[in-house]
Every structure is written in structure tokens, then in C-alpha cells.
Amino acid sequence: MLQVSAIEDHFDEMILAFSKRGIKNIEEQLRSVLQLNNKRKSAQQELDALLQESNQLAKQIGQLYKEGKQDEANEAKEQTISLKEKSKELGEALNKLEEELTSALYNIPNVPHPSVPAGQTDEDNELIMTSTDQLPELGDDAKPHWDLIQDYDLIDFELGNKITGAGFPVYKNQGARLVRALINYFLDEATNAGFAEVRPPIVTNEASGRGTGQLPDKEGQMYHITDTDLYLIPTAEVPVTNLYRDTIQAEADLPIRNCAYTPCFRREAGSWGSHVRGLNRLHQFDKVEIVQVVKPENSYQVLDEMVAHVEKLVKSLELPYRILRLCGGDLGFTSALTYDFEVYSAAQKKWLEVSSVSNFEAYQANRLKLRYKNADGKKVLAHTLNGSALALPRIMAALVENNQIANGIKMPKVLKDYLGFEVISKKL
């Protein structure tokens, strides 16, 4: 969440920056935060004064008893009782104000970085680069991946539907091996790049969801286990970043660099139609995530490095790709700047998103109370970043479609040692 001090110091600049997101009532929201904060400060000052007065009276009571001034001591004692009652009432009012302030801040998204383009939909996203000037074309007999996976017995959606429901596929045979190969390859590349691998829980509590901003923004997308009030993770970003919730890191330990493989779960309520057929959108999917905790002055250099890491992965898979800078309207709630990677599906003749790489600046860290001590001993909010490196389903869809040949599906060279075969052949 935003820092109140930042809102106070940069109010006009924030209003201008938020115009890129198209939020109509943002000025009203920010003013409400400042008003609540002023009430909170006044209540805190009043409470502090009452506590100070109560402490002074407590010291006087002992002295009055020593001096034999019984009546004055008893009168002072009555005053302390009254002050304690007032302090209790004021403390409860202060707690309520702090809850209202936090709730108001939770409902305000992150401030877009100056480089974020204005716009409301994905059509307004800024194209940064494409890997090729000419998109690949397949023959008239080319098939989309949902047909190919049946031909080669790679994935069974009907079995998944029987076991769980739509959007939960069963990977089989060479399809299951391809999943395992991609996960291992992505993890190896991440660890080789200096990311420490972790294996976090795939179920988190509400505090973790609030810490990274999935709650209260994305309740409709998350699977909620109501009897335990736990959530299936939509991304490894949630548990991995929350490893550092309520911590004060040593400056020398930054940057913190983690990678993790997890299954991910998203309800994707209301999503249907040809654009989500097959692997294009699932309720359960596999993903390798990279997460960093860094010093504020380094975060945009780190963002560029993470983008370069993801680009290297996509390029190594020999897939046509492009990089987009998301516009304000398409920007995630917690992000200050996001780059999306898309690969081209030659059979579907469309671009498929396979990664988002984001800088959250101090937005998540403020929720997480994630700080570090600088050289002056001052506690400073860290910056957090994360990126998909990579999400598997659409990568698999593009690999299968783009590499179909007469007698099979040719796999990229980089996966040979992980798969043990170069071509996916007919049913084993």
C-alpha cells in the first residue's frame, strides 16, 4: 500500500500519475486518506497527553502519601481512574481510525511509473520489441494444440474434468515429460543466474494474501478454503515474498533473489469461449517464478535484468516473441511498472501471454512491513519485484503448434537433455 507521507508530499503528482489508470475518484480517495490520518494523529496526540498526565499524577500520589497529604492523594487517585477510562475510550477510537486508514489505503492501487503509457485496455499497451519481422506460417493442414495433444496423447482434458472439473488437465506420457522438462530447465536457468531455489507451501493464509496485494483485490480469482480460511496460491509470488514479511533485513544481505516452482490456482470466473480453449487458460497450471527484494535505488536496474532473464528463456525455446509495456488501465493493482512477454501461436494466429515481470517499488513492502537497515542505521522499506520465468501452459501450446512436422512435433534443442527425445512421436 502507499505510504501516507508519500501522499502528503506528492499529492498533485500522484493525481496526475493515477490519471493513466483512469480512476475517476482517486482524488477523493487520497483526500479521505489524509483526513483519516489527521484524525488519527490528533487522537494519538490526545492519548499521549492523557497518558503523560496520568503518569505524572501517579508519581505525585506516592509523594503526597509520604507527605501525609491523604486527601490530596485520594483526589489525585480519582483523577487517574478517570484518565484511564478516557485513555481506554480514546485508545479504542484510535484503533478504529487506524483500521479505517489501513482499509482506505488497501483500496488504492500503486502509483504508475512515469514510463507507463496512458490507456485503458490491452490494445493501449506499448510494444517494446518483437523478435522477428515476419511471423511464421504453417500449412493449411496445421492443427491447433488442442487437436495435437489428442493425436499424440499428451493431455486429457476429459479425464481432468471427470476428476475435478473444467480447467484441470491430466498430462500424460510425453506431455507429462515435457512439463517436467520445462520446470527443470527453467529452475536450472534461474539457479544458474543466481536465484536461490525455495519450495514454499501452495496454501497461504489471509495475511499473506494481503501482504502481496491479492487481497482484497482478487478474491474472485482465488480458491478459498472456507473452513480453515486459507487460500490456494494464484502464483508463487505470494508465499515467496511473504517469507520476508515482518522482517528487517541487513543491507549487506540485499538483493535477496529467490526462484520457486509451484502449481498455481485461479478461478478465472466468467472466462469462456474459443480464446480460452485448450491450454490457453486453465484453473490449475505450473509456473516457475523469480522474486527479488532489493534496495530502492537499484530496483529499476534489477527490473531490466529480470526482463533480460525472461527474454533469454523465451529466445532459447526458439519461439517468436514480443515484449509489451503495460498501460495504466492494464497494469496490475500492486504494480508500478510491468512488462509482458507474449509468444506467437502460428496455428491459432495469435499472441499468447507467457510472462509478466513487475516492479512493485515499496507498495508490497509497506504492507509486508519488509524493511532493511541502511548504513545510517535507519529502517527503510525495501522494493519487491517478481516475474514469471516461465508459465508453462501457453509455452507448451506454442511449442506444440509451431513445431508440428509431418511425423511428429520437434522440440527445441535446449530441451533435448531434459526430455531424452527430440521429437514427440505418435502414441507410445
408-410: strand order across its sheet? 404-405, 408-410, 423-424
Looking at domain 122-424, its CATH class is alpha beta
**What is the band of 20 on the pLDDT scale with cuts at 50, 70, 90?**
very high
Its pTM stands at 0.92
Tell me which of 3.30.70.590, 1.10.287.40, 4.10.1240.10, 1.20.200.10 is the CATH number of domain 4-106: 1.10.287.40
Cα–Cα distances (Å) from 395 to 99, 132, 309, in that order, read 43, 17, 16
3-state helix, strand, coil in the chain (%, to 5): 45, 20, 35
Comparing 137-151, 200-214, 303-317, the range with the smallest average pLDDT is 137-151
* Domain residue ranges of the chain, discontinuous segments joined by +: 4-106, 122-424
Mean pLDDT, residues 26-32 taken together: 97
Please write the tens of the pLDDT for every residue from 174-201.
999 999 999 999 999 999 999 999 999 9
Looking at residue 273, its pLDDT comes to 54
C-alpha to C-alpha distance for 287 and 238, rounded to whole angstroms:
13
For residue 280 the three cell numbers come to 490457453
Residues whose CB falls within 8 Å of the CB of residue 64, separated by 6 or more in sequence, listed in order:
70, 72, 73, 76
Please write the tens of the pLDDT for every residue from 362-372.
999 999 999 99
Amino acid, single-letter form, for residue 309: H
Looking at residue 274, its pLDDT comes to 52
Please write the tens of the pLDDT for every residue from 382-418.
999 999 999 999 999 999 999 999 889 999 999 999 9
What b-and-e string marks burial along 380-400, b requiring 16 or more CB atoms within 10 Å of the CB? Answer: bbbbbbbbbbbbbbbbbbbbb
Looking at residue 57, its pLDDT comes to 80
Please write the tens of the pLDDT for every residue from 50-65.
888 887 887 777 666 6
Looking at residue 410, its pLDDT comes to 97
> In the predicted model, is pLDDT for residue 72 greater than 90?
no
Question: Distance of alpha carbon 362 from its chain centroid, rounded?
Answer: 13
> In the predicted model, is pLDDT for residue 71 greater than 60?
yes
State the DSSP code for 347.
T
Please write the tens of the pLDDT for every residue from 300-356.
999 999 999 999 999 999 999 999 999 999 999 999 999 999 999 999 999 999 999
Comparing 121-135, 240-254, 263-277, 363-377, the range with the smallest average pLDDT is 263-277
> In the predicted model, is pLDDT for residue 428 greater than 50?
no
The overall average pLDDT reported for the chain is 93
**What 3-state DSSP class applies to 268?**
coil
> In the predicted model, is pLDDT for residue 238 greater than 90?
yes
> In the predicted model, is pLDDT for residue 275 greater than 70?
no
**What is the band of 427 on the pLDDT scale with cuts at 50, 70, 90?**
low
